[in-house]
Structure 1
Amino acid sequence: MSAGHPALARADAFAAAYGLRLPLLLAPMAGACPPALSVAVIRAGGLGACGALLMQPAAILAWADSVREAGPFQINLWIPDPAPVRDPAHEARVRDFLGGFGPAVPPEAGDAAPPDFAAQCEALIEARPRVVSSIMGLYPPDYVARLKARGIAWWATVSTVQEALAAEAAGADAVVAQGAEAGGHRGRFDPARAEAETVGLMALLPAVVDAVEIPVVATGGIADARGAAAALLLGASAVQVGTGFLRCPEAGIPAAWADALGRARPEETRLTRAFSGRAGRSLATAYVAAAAEPAAPAPAPYPVQRGLTQGMREAAAKAGDLGRMQAWAGQAAGLARAEPAGEAVGRIWEGARAILR
């Protein structure tokens, strides 16, 4: 048990319950959680993570097998939305707009669908991570019961107090309070309210801690020791870091994206639906700015928009062109350092402990 502020004792107890040496968690970022990054975080004492949204069941199992020997990890899935309402005429306007930023977009690009959710859920059971987490909603009761019967904890990502209460009532073992500062997609259960209800972590975290009896993990805008210590003071039992790890070599993201994160000021990120149709925070790139202009067509719904932008995103990554790249970024991106992930874990956690002692 760490000496110092009572928050450290609470955090140590949470870490011990999950087989961790310290309560610092890698955020499960879809497309940016290669095994090497999780292994480095785990070996430094934290919790690894996989954002499995786009992964087929076999890929989920392969990822789990590649990190299992290192230690505990979580795997995250999106709770699916209802099927989108398609509008071919509007999609044609979006395709024309996207053609100005990348290759011509064929009409069938919007037909792209995510992997089968039920099959992914079965893969999570088979993979047996320490934690299965959710975002965009809650797992159904029968699946929650199956997880618990196998000793797998369920953490629910929430962005409002109302969502946290619903998660606790549904049997979540912990909630991950996602502040509006977070990079990547916002976890709002109701996608239509994702931009209207953007609560920052400083306000959200203590409100959630006061509302629920289960542990609360803080995420969003935490990328250094000060943020971690502040989250623990506000009642969090652990902190989850996403953008703060993206400049680590183990993350393997394009150099243009990684370099831009290190230069980004908080106001140089913005919420956008222009990549996927779901609201997410990215760097305010040329494409993001153009897509927000009044003359630009509104993005198609998720996941249609993601399919329509796939060609542009792939071309931008291949060319190292930040202006068209899907460059997710939290508001604390400028605090991220280009250092090995294990060093980042130690720097953030030892610094937070020193502040709280």
Structure 2
Amino acid sequence: MTLQALLGIEHAVVQAPMAGSQASALAIAVSNAGGLGSLPCATLGPDALRTELQALAAGTGKPYNVNFFCHTEPAPDPAREQAWRQALAPYFAECGIDPAGIAAGPGRAPFSAAIADIVEPFRPPVVSFHFGLPAPDLLARVKAWGATVMSSATTVEEARWLEAHGADVIIAQGLEAGGHRGMFLSGDLDGQSGTFALLPQVVAAVRVPVIAAGGIADARTVAAARALGSAGVQAGTAFLLTPEATTGAVHRAALRSPETAHTAVTNLFSGRPARGIVNRIMRELGPISPAAPAFPLATAAIAPLRARAEARGSGDFTSLWCGQNAAGCRERPAAEIVDELARAWAASGI
């Protein structure tokens, strides 16, 4: 069965869920264009989640994907939090921020029974997860809705684990991809591979359909993914400058600049590895810091620095998520991107 038949979509094109840079409007536009639009839900509170799900249901009669995180919530670590705030102390002083007034807070919640209660009445046709899969009882509940389940793998071992634990589709996320790495069996970045090294290995290791993600931006990368056995392609960075995206002004300016040529994987903004455009704090602290609290606790201390800098038009402390191949990231409607990638997929068929 093709990916299109499995998901009920016209084109084998998936829009990556991008928390902080989109809401339901982008997902609706992609789904209505025949691809699979995705809504990032991990940062949404209960009321916002319900509102966005209502918008999706009203905005498209075609399949869509809702995405959740499956991380384990970390135990508070006061010593590590203090070390992190000490590392940021010069920036707090520069920006006139009193760190004592910064409240701790995770900002991202893993999929739970309470979240499932909100989602279940909408019965989304596709549900995807990052950082593994939820507990077996929760996964069974999602599947009972009739949803197809997708999850990201960054290694062959993760792909095998996902298949064994119930994923219907695996997204092979190469190291080129922007945003958070989906890694969950190991935190070792040395074990991460590029898309076109990872993809054929995952395809050979599992029986479920595999979607290529990371560096997918144009006809050539789509053709390469299909030649290596992918059932479809997922693009994220390409959609960041669309009018349907909610990408902030500072982030948009960086995406329009030559700065996109220099990205790195960093844990400074959330505590987990994620790829973004290199900015001041990444240069000065190094992209990976052992002081950064476990995901998602690093976010709280960075947030006021980001707000203060963005108010003056600076991205010094902003998570400027971007993949290594920003060639397709241009200001055009989302439907045009779906059409371009879909035509490339069709042209590369045998």
**Same fold, TM-score > 0.5, yes or no:** yes
d(CA) in 1 for partners of 2:167 and 2:341?
27
The letter of the residue matching 1:123 is I
1:186-201 matched pairs, under 5 angstroms: 186-190=181-185, 192-193=187-188, 195-201=189-195
1:263-302 matched pairs, under 5 angstroms: 263-264=257-258, 267-292=261-286, 298-302=291-295
The letter of the residue matching 1:241 is A
Offset from partner CA, 1:54-99 (integer Å, 9 cap, x none)? 1112222211111224121111111122424331531331341441
d(CA) in 2 for partners of 1:317 and 1:152?
39
Q: Give me the CA root mean square deviation.
A: 2.3
Superposition deviation, residue 264 in structure 1? 4.3
d(CA) in 1 for partners of 2:250 and 2:94?
17
Query: Pick from 230, 235, 250: which aligns with 1:236?
Result: 230
The answer to whether the 8 Å contact 1:154/1:172 transfers is: yes
Alignment match, 2:212: 218
Alignment match, 1:3: none
The letter of the residue matching 1:41 is V
d(CA) in 1 for partners of 2:182 and 2:228?
21
Aligned to 2:302, the other structure's residue is in SS state helix
Gaps (5+ residues) in structure 2? none
Alignment match, 2:129: 134
Superposition deviation, residue 102 in structure 1? 4.1
The answer to whether the 8 Å contact 2:306/2:316 transfers is: no
1:1-357 matched pairs, under 5 angstroms: 13-69=2-58, 70=60, 71-84=62-75, 85-87=77-79, 88-99=81-92, 102-107=95-100, 109=102, 111-113=104-106, 114-115=108-109, 117-118=111-112, 119-190=114-185, 192-193=187-188, 195-264=189-258, 267-292=261-286, 298-356=291-349
Shift in CA distance, 95/265, structure 1 to aligned 2, threshold 3 Å: closer
Aligned to 2:14, the other structure's residue is in SS state strand
d(CA) in 2 for partners of 1:202 and 1:333?
17
Superposition deviation, residue 350 in structure 1? 1.2
The letter of the residue matching 2:105 is A
Aligned to 1:324, the other structure's residue is in SS state coil
d(CA) in 2 for partners of 1:216 and 1:341?
23
The answer to whether the 8 Å contact 2:84/2:291 transfers is: no
Between the aligned residues of both structures, percent identity stands at: 34
Q: How does the TM-score come out when normalised to structure 2?
A: 0.91
The answer to whether the 8 Å contact 1:173/1:214 transfers is: yes
Offset from partner CA, 1:173-205 (integer Å, 9 cap, x none)? 111111010001111104632x22221000111
d(CA) in 2 for partners of 1:35 and 1:64?
8
Q: Which of 172-181 and 117-126 deviates more?
A: 117-126
The answer to whether the 8 Å contact 2:12/2:232 transfers is: yes
Q: How does the TM-score come out when normalised to structure 1?
A: 0.89
d(CA) in 1 for partners of 2:340 and 2:22?
20
The answer to whether the 8 Å contact 1:191/1:279 transfers is: no
Aligned to 1:251, the other structure's residue is in SS state coil
The answer to whether the 8 Å contact 2:40/2:68 transfers is: yes
The answer to whether the 8 Å contact 2:70/2:110 transfers is: no
